[in-house]
Amino acid sequence: MFVAVNQVAYVAVVQLSTAAGLHAADTGYPGRGFTPYTKAYLIMLLPHAVVTVSVVTALLPKMSRSVHDGRLDEVRADIVSGLRLTGAAIVPAAIGFGVLGPSLCIAMFAHGSTTVDNAQYIGFVLSAFALGLVPFTVHYQLLRGFYAFEDTRTPVTINVWDRGAPTLRWRSPATRCCPDRWVAVGLAASYSLSYLVGVGISARKLSRRHRPARRGSAARLRPVDRGRCGRRGSHLVDQ
C-alpha cells in the first residue's frame, strides 16, 4: 500500500509535468516538463541517500533492541541523535541547493544540447525542492521510529496524507495557477509542502506511541497497538 500511494503520486506528477512541458514548448519554452523535474529531484536526493540512509540504517537495529527491552527513552534519544547528525549535513545542503541551485545546474548541465536557460530552469526546480529537503529527511527518520515498533501500518496512513492527498489538493492548483513553463517548479514546491505536513503528522503520532510507557501507564495502550507490537508490545505492557 505504501508503494501504491507513491506510485499514484508519481504518475500524477508525470502526467501534469509532461502536459505542461508540451504546452510550454509550443509557446517557445522547451525543456520545461518532466525532465528538469527528474534531474532536480535526483540532485536533491543525493545528500539524503548518502547521509540520512546510512545513519538510519545503523541506528534502526539499536532502536529495535531498545523497544524490545522497553527502553523507550533510548529510542527517543537515538532518533534525536540521528536528526542532529544528519542535520549537520542536510541543512547546509538544503541552503546550498536553495541559494546556488541555478548556478550549480548551469555548471552541471549547460553542455551539448542543453542550453543555459534550460540548465538554469533545472536549478529553479532544485531550489523549490530544497525547501523540502530537511522535512523530507526528518520525516524519513521518524517513520523508522514506527518500524522499530514493528508498526508498518501507521506509516502507510501517514503516506496517504502527505503524498496522496496533496497530489490532488495542491498539485492540480499548481498547474492552474502557474504558467505552463513554471509548472515543474510549482510541483516541486508542492512536494516540499507535502513533507512539511508529513513531519507534523508523523511527529504527533510517534509522540503518542512513546507517551504511555514514559508515564508509567503502558497498560493503557490500545488493543490495536498491542497487536501491532506482538511480543514486544506485550513486554512493554507487563512493565
Confidence of residue 159 (pLDDT cuts 50, 70, 90): confident
- The region, left, alpha or beta by phi > 0 then psi within -120 to 50, assigned to residue 111 is beta
Q: Are 193 and 136 in contact (CB under 8 A)?
A: no
Range name among 62-66, 167-171, 218-222, 224-228 with the lowest pLDDT average:
218-222
Proportion of the chain above pLDDT 70, given as a percent = 80
| Residue 172 grid coordinates | 492540480
Mean of pLDDT values over 72-76: 89
Query: Rounded to whole angstroms, how far apart are CA atoms 44 and 126?
Result: 7
Query: Rounded to whole angstroms, how far apart are CA atoms 197 and 139?
Result: 9
More confident residue, 230 or 206: 206
Closest alpha carbon to 212 in 31, 77, 72, 25: 72
Q: Are 160 and 220 in contact (CB under 8 A)?
A: no
- CA torsion sign, 84 to 140 to 168 to 11? positive
| Residue 119 grid coordinates | 540548465
pLDDT at 219 over 50: no
Q: Are 232 and 75 in contact (CB under 8 A)?
A: no
Averaged pLDDT of the chain: 82
| Residue 200 grid coordinates | 507534523
pLDDT reported for residue 222: 43
157-190 burial string, b = 16+ CB within 10 Å, else e? Answer: ebbebbbbebbeebbeebbeebebbbbbbbbbbb
The pair phi, psi for residue 71, each rounded to 5°, is -95, 75
| Residue 54 grid coordinates | 546510512
Mean of pLDDT values over 216-234: 43
Closest alpha carbon to 172 in 187, 160, 161: 187
Query: Rounded to whole angstroms, how far apart are CA atoms 121 and 15?
Result: 19
More confident residue, 107 or 168: 107
More confident residue, 10 or 138: 138
SS3 letters across 3-38: HHHHHHHHHHHHHHHHHHHHHHHHCCCCCCCHHHHH
Question: Which residue is listed with cell 522499530?
Answer: 148
Instruction: Tell me the per-residue pLDDT of 75-132, one tens digit each, with 9 for 90 and over.
Output: 999 999 999 999 999 999 999 999 999 999 999 999 888 899 999 999 999 999 999 9
pLDDT reported for residue 44: 95
What single letter denotes the amino acid at residue 112? G
Confidence of residue 165 (pLDDT cuts 50, 70, 90): low
